[in-house]
Structure 1
Amino acid sequence: MYNPTVARLTYRALLGRRRALILFALPALLIAISLAVRLLTGVDDKVAAELLGGFALATMVPLIGVIAGTGAIGPEIDDGSIVYLLAKPVKRPTIIMTKLIVAIAITMAFSAIPTLVAGFILNGNGQSIAIAYMIAALVASVAYSALFLLLGTVSRHAVVFGLVYALIWESLFGSLVDGAKTLSVQQWSLTLAEKVAGEGYVDSAVGMPTAVVLLALVTVGATAYAGQRLRRLTLAGEE
């Protein structure tokens, strides 16, 4: 279910000059803010949790997920170059799984690692806050990558829809409407972070069983449907 050639082409596309600038800019901004906050406030568990939750997990991780998830396949479908890939003797599920693995790897590398570094800068590992938010970023990376990869196969405006979900649904409605929190990748990942850091530093509105089930359903369901969409695209091209 993994093809090195497809992976190499996907990495090359995602780490091109334009996307790479955005991918590096967000973690760099997080680190810069963390350094400034540490110099101004010193070690503060509450401040660390607020910055990692409010910027790293709520903004940086989903944005990188949008870039990696939609960029793994969306541009190829939009410009028609996906036809050349589909003409190769590679199974369609292998293409989707390979692109998903690459998207997850990119999202994790550019979100979870900077989140851990920022956590240590802010307060060492007091109350395990740095580890907790790194775990949340890792888990969220998987779900976001699958979700936004699916968007890349169903719409030419995948980036727009991804930003709407990440920044409006999760950040706006998710913070104001209790029911919306249940349908939030951010809240699901926060549940795992809360388990590590403990209550008082990380707060989640979703229970552990619900979070685990929904994370699995979204990841598996989005990946499976993306594979179906790719197969339909192949049939349409062959016709």
Structure 2
Amino acid sequence: MNATIAMITARGLLGRRRIWLLVPLPLMLIGLAILARAFGPAPAEWGEGIIGGLGFTAVLPVIALIVGTGVLGSEIDDGTITHILAKPLPRSEIILTKLGVATGVTGLFAGVPLFLVGLIAGEQALAFALVVGAVIGALAYCSLFLLISVVTRRPVLVGLAYVVLWEGTLGNILSGTQKLSIQQYVQAIVDWLAPTELLHGNVSVPLSCVMAGVFIIASTAYAIQRLRTLSVAGETG
């Protein structure tokens, strides 16, 4: 981690207008949980729909998409990335620092509301498990979206295609696609950490742990390699 890059990245990310896009979804998640609890149904009746159907299907991946593509993609778009690449810094240090910032911001904006929803449902163990799941999911999603921001000029569009088409549409139609779904990995891990009627994983826990690790390591390694190629192009131009 490079403290200077981390500070610049966090300031640039939190100082942009896009940061306000991170607020409505978490508030909606908490608000729906409060309403559901207030109207009397048992948490078992609404928990999976709100936590899995909204929290892990929309809130976590969308926040990760906004943050993960923003920590590096905006610098590539406006050309300021050349100032960072001109410094004698290992490309791995740049990627890992930006990934750390993206994971921290995503984990905060997604993990806190999920924790509160767990408490509203009266499941303290689940609340803490949701935080763990949010951090793991944030790391996996952000590593993927950070890679996408390096390899394409339309990272948000490509990221949305993964979240909406692959995880959302195909994930509900073809069960085999769930084995390549970060959302399913997170749900399986949370269900394993705090077994409850509110959330059910559709992928085995060992496979979820292994595949989440594969997503994180492979995406990060390839992003580092692509940034090295990008630096050469920038330096020779």
TM-score (norm 1): 0.93
Between the aligned partners of 1:124 and 1:143, the Cα distance in structure 2 is 28
**Contact residue 47 and residue 199 of structure 2 kept, 8 A:** no
Question: How does 1:1-239 map onto structure 2 within 5 Å?
Answer: 2-121=1-120, 123-125=121-123, 128-198=125-195, 200-239=197-236
Give the fraction of aligned pairs with identical amino acids, expressed as a percent. 38
Between the aligned partners of 1:168 and 1:41, the Cα distance in structure 2 is 34
Once the two structures are overlaid, the 10-residue window that deviates more, 195-204 or 173-182, is 195-204
Paired residues, what number?
A: 236
**Contact residue 65 and residue 156 of structure 2 kept, 8 A:** yes
**Contact residue 150 and residue 223 of structure 2 kept, 8 A:** yes
Between the aligned partners of 2:133 and 2:235, the Cα distance in structure 1 is 42
Deviation at 1:94, TM superposition (A): 0.5
Q: 1:203 to 1:115 in 2, by over 3 A?
A: same
The one-letter amino acid of 2:55's match is A
**Contact residue 147 and residue 222 of structure 1 kept, 8 A:** yes
2:234 aligns to what SS in structure 1?
helix
Between the aligned partners of 1:198 and 1:35, the Cα distance in structure 2 is 22
Deviation at 1:199, TM superposition (A): 6.0
Between the aligned partners of 2:133 and 2:40, the Cα distance in structure 1 is 25
Displaced runs of 4 or more, over 6 A? none
1:19 aligns to what SS in structure 2?
helix
Between the aligned partners of 1:25 and 1:118, the Cα distance in structure 2 is 15
Deviation at 1:194, TM superposition (A): 1.4
**Contact residue 152 and residue 158 of structure 1 kept, 8 A:** yes
Once the two structures are overlaid, the 10-residue window that deviates more, 73-82 or 11-20, is 11-20
Between the aligned partners of 1:51 and 1:9, the Cα distance in structure 2 is 35
**Contact residue 27 and residue 114 of structure 1 kept, 8 A:** yes
Between the aligned partners of 2:23 and 2:197, the Cα distance in structure 1 is 31
Q: Deviations over 1:157-214 (max 9, x none)?
A: 0001111111221011111211111110011111111112326432222112211111
Q: Deviations over 1:197-233 (max 9, x none)?
A: 3264322221122111111111011001000111001
Say what the alpha-carbon RMSD is for the aligned residues. Answer: 1.5
TM-score (norm 2): 0.94
The one-letter amino acid of 2:114's match is T
The one-letter amino acid of 2:60's match is V
The one-letter amino acid of 1:94's match is E
